[in-house]
Amino acid sequence: MKKLRKSKSLILKILSALMLACSLIAVCEVTNHNPSTQTVQAAKLSKRERNAKNWIAQRESGGNYHARNGACYGKFQLNIGYLHGDYSKKNQNKTADRYVKNRYGSWVNAKKFWQSHHWY
């Protein structure tokens, strides 16, 4: 019985380590973007894109750059791994722009997704 408990404990530790490794790989895949891809700067966003970005921020955090919900942080409730320890407003905006561009193509598309799934 004692060996069985040790085996279960070891299996749980291995599974936890594998899950952590997979989540780190996923974070790296999202944050390692093609250097030739330019991040969309807020100043370059159309009024429609800015409105969609602000709409999402209001639903995610009420516009609060310090909001926290589990592993998500900031105005856009990004996974903290995406921010690489830099929680500044500038980095949150830059990272959110990159995330949205890579995943949805635009803030307008991200808003449409949010409206049907209640997350983005």
In 10 A of CB 72, how many CB atoms? 16
Q: What is the pTM of this model?
A: 0.65
Number of domains in the chain: 2
Q: Are residues 15 and 44 in the same domain?
A: no
Q: Are residues 18 and 49 in the same domain?
A: no
Q: Are residues 1 and 42 in the same domain?
A: no
What average pLDDT score do residues 59-79 get? 98
Q: Are residues 19 and 77 in the same domain?
A: no
Band of pLDDT at residue 30, cut at 50, 70 and 90 = very low
Q: Are residues 104 and 68 in the same domain?
A: yes
Band of pLDDT at residue 112, cut at 50, 70 and 90 = very high
Strand segments (E) across 24-101: 68-69, 72-73, 78-79
Predicted confidence at residue 104, as pLDDT, reads: 98
Band of pLDDT at residue 7, cut at 50, 70 and 90 = low
Q: Are residues 24 and 53 in the same domain?
A: no
Domain that includes residue 95, residue range: 38-117
